[in-house]
């Protein structure tokens, strides 16, 4: 019986008999994770929480960058991990999940160690969980969650793209406005409510450029953008990733540009899309984000554009700004007022139930209808003890254009 909710136990399924579990802990920055075998199994605190037995963990770049560069560590020892597939072992009688359900648990709330993926039993919020379709493997499911949430919030919140015509998806801007400012976390409130005007919102037929199109987040960005009717240009290492990107029907972009010469890539973007490019997302870092920023800037007055028809949209009474998201950092230099920078408000997913529920339930619909596909799985490691080895492969640059997962 928990101190915060003493009346819950009678409504929960039979708790698992074990009291301790294995988990991976970061004990100090710039160290490897330490496997412990006597870590307490987390307990549920309210009716929105479910207990999940971990089957497969999805690894993310943050899992090695955080200890290496000493950021995103709220306390020590720290329990990491942001996505997994597992089996529900406890749930409230009123919850939409039942014991035995196989789900994706997405933990963007890294401050709460109960929800971290690097342990045998994990607490998940019911509105941050997605029932996995029977035909999808647990490995594929473990590779999807964080990238989906990032992509959906980037497109739907930052760029204002509505998914309402995409298999019943949400119009996130409307959802967020209905929630109201007082319930939006203060540090993401401006981004969530005021970073894009209604006349600037991405619409069916608009172009979006993604620099670093081989990233897992890009895989989901391409799919969701195409579902909502956007045209997608991808800037990527064509020698390494061009073939599989251009032949995979789920992620094939409308325009593929080589990034081996970034200045040339900017020229190609400007010449091909020109005035029609209002939205850009960089997945790689500040340097490449700066190049994408250049591609978003309007050419000097009188400079010719080798842009095919149709011609650019006639100017509206209120100018439409161009928008850039930097998933791995934004340029630090000053930028023109007609450009708006964005950081994805991931906190909305776990702190605003209406947003989390809208995205999780839509993701479930897309998976069960076969409209959403996992990124490539480039390796499957076995056991928590093997996580450090898998992360070393990511550190060393061995894993590009796909995902590593670890079975538990």
Distance, in Å, from the CA atom of 305 to the CA atom of 311, rounded to the nearest integer, reads 10
Distance, in Å, from the CA atom of 319 to the CA atom of 199, rounded to the nearest integer, reads 9
- State the helix-helix crossing angle for 387-395 and 62-69, rounded to 10 degrees: 80
398: confidence class by pLDDT, cuts 50, 70, 90: very high
202-240 pLDDT, tens digit per residue, is: 999 999 999 998 999 999 999 999 999 999 999 999 999
Question: 20: helix, coil or strand?
Answer: strand
332: confidence class by pLDDT, cuts 50, 70, 90: confident
62-109 pLDDT, tens digit per residue, is: 999 999 999 999 999 999 999 999 999 999 988 889 999 999 999 999
Task: Check pLDDT > 90 for residue 8.
Answer: no
194 CB contacts (<8 Å, ≥6 apart)? none
* Residue whose tokens read 């698992």: 16
Q: Report the pLDDT value the prediction gives residue 346, as an integer from 0 to 100.
A: 97
Task: Check pLDDT > 70 for residue 179.
Answer: yes
Distance, in Å, from the CA atom of 119 to the CA atom of 125, rounded to the nearest integer, reads 16
297-330 pLDDT, tens digit per residue, is: 865 444 444 444 455 555 545 789 999 999 999 9
DSSP letters spanning 36-53: EEEEEPP---STTEEEEE
| Strands 49-58, 83-90: pairing kind | antiparallel
Q: Report the pLDDT value the prediction gives residue 197, as an integer from 0 to 100.
A: 96
Q: Report the pLDDT value the prediction gives residue 310, as an integer from 0 to 100.
A: 53
Q: Report the pLDDT value the prediction gives residue 89, as an integer from 0 to 100.
A: 96
Percentage of residues of the chain with pLDDT beyond 70: 91
Q: Report the pLDDT value the prediction gives residue 33, as an integer from 0 to 100.
A: 98
Segments in 12-92 forming alpha helices (H) = 62-69
Question: 339: helix, coil or strand?
Answer: strand
Q: Is 164 left (phi over 0), alpha (psi -120 to 50) or beta?
A: alpha
Task: Check pLDDT > 90 for residue 3.
Answer: no
Task: Check pLDDT > 50 for residue 1.
Answer: no
Query: Once rounded to an integer, what is the mean pLDDT over residues 254-268?
Result: 97
Task: Check pLDDT > 80 for residue 117.
Answer: yes
Percentage of residues of the chain with pLDDT beyond 90: 85
364-385 pLDDT, tens digit per residue, is: 999 999 999 999 999 999 999 9
Question: 343: helix, coil or strand?
Answer: coil
Q: Report the pLDDT value the prediction gives residue 312, as an integer from 0 to 100.
A: 54
Output the CA–CA distances (angstroms, integers) from residue 193 to 1, 74, 87, 150, 363, in the order listed: 39, 27, 36, 17, 23
372 CB contacts (<8 Å, ≥6 apart)? 144, 148, 220, 223, 363, 366
Strands (E), 28-165: 34-40, 49-58, 83-90, 102-106, 121-125, 129-131
Q: Report the pLDDT value the prediction gives residue 335, as an integer from 0 to 100.
A: 78
Distance, in Å, from the CA atom of 85 to the CA atom of 57, rounded to the nearest integer, reads 7
Distance, in Å, from the CA atom of 407 to the CA atom of 384, rounded to the nearest integer, reads 8
For all residues of the chain together, what is the average pLDDT?
Answer: 91
Q: Report the pLDDT value the prediction gives residue 183, as an integer from 0 to 100.
A: 96
What the chain holds in terms of domains, given with CATH numbers, is: 20-143+374-407 (3.90.180.10), 148-298+320-347 (3.40.50.720)
Distance, in Å, from the CA atom of 325 to the CA atom of 341, rounded to the nearest integer, reads 6
132 CB contacts (<8 Å, ≥6 apart)? 85, 102, 103, 104, 138, 141, 367
Query: Once rounded to an integer, what is the mean pLDDT over residues 18-33?
Result: 95
């Amino acid at each position: 019986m928990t101190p915060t909710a003493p009346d819950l136990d009678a409504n929960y399924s039979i708790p698992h008999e074990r009291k301790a579990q294995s988990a991976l802990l970061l004990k100090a920055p710039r160290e490897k994770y330490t496997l412990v075998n006597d870590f307490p199994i987390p307990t549920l605190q309210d009716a929105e929480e479910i207990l999940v037995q971990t089957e497969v963990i999805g690894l993310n770049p943050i899992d090695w960058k955080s200890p290496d560069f000493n950021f995103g560590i709220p306390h020590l020892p720290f329990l990491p991990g942001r996505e997994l597939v597992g089996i529900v072992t406890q749930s409230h009688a009123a919850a939409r999940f039942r014991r035995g359900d196989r789900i994706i648990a997405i933990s963007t709330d890294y401050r709460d160690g109960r929800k971290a993926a690097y342990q045998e039993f994990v607490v998940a919020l019911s509105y941050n969980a997605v029932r996995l379709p029977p035909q999808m493997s647990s490995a594929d499911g473990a590779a999807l969650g964080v990238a989906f949430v990032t992509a959906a919030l980037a497109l739907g919140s930052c760029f204002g793209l509505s998914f309402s015509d995409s298999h019943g998806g949400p119009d996130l801007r409307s959802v967020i406005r209905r929630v109201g400012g007082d319930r939006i976390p203060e540090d993401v409130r401006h981004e969530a409510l005021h970073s894009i005007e209604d006349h600037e919102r991405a619409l069916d037929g608009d172009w979006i450029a993604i620099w670093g199109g081989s990233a897992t987040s890009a895989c989901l960005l391409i799919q969701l953008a195409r579902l909502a009717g956007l045209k997608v240009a991808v800037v990527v290492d064509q020698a390494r990733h061009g073939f599989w990107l251009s032949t995979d029907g789920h992620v094939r972009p409308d325009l593929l540009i080589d990034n081996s010469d970034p200045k040339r890539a900017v020229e190609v973007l400007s010449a091909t899309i020109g005035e029609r490019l209002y939205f850009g997302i960089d997945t790689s870092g500040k340097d490449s984000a700066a190049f994408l920023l250049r591609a978003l800037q309007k050419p000097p007055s009188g400079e010719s554009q080798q842009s095919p028809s149709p011609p650019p949209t006639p100017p509206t009474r209120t100018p439409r700004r161009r928008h850039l998201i930097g998933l791995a950092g934004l340029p630090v230099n000053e930028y023109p007022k007609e450009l708006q920078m964005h950081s994805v408000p991931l906190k909305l997913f776990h702190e605003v139930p209406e947003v989390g529920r809208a995205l999780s339930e839509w993701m479930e619909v897309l998976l069960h209808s076969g409209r959403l596909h996992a990124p490539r799985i480039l390796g499957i490691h076995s056991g928590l003890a093997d996580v450090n080895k898998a992360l070393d492969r990511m550190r060393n640059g061995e894993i590009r254009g796909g995902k590593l997962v670890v079975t538990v």
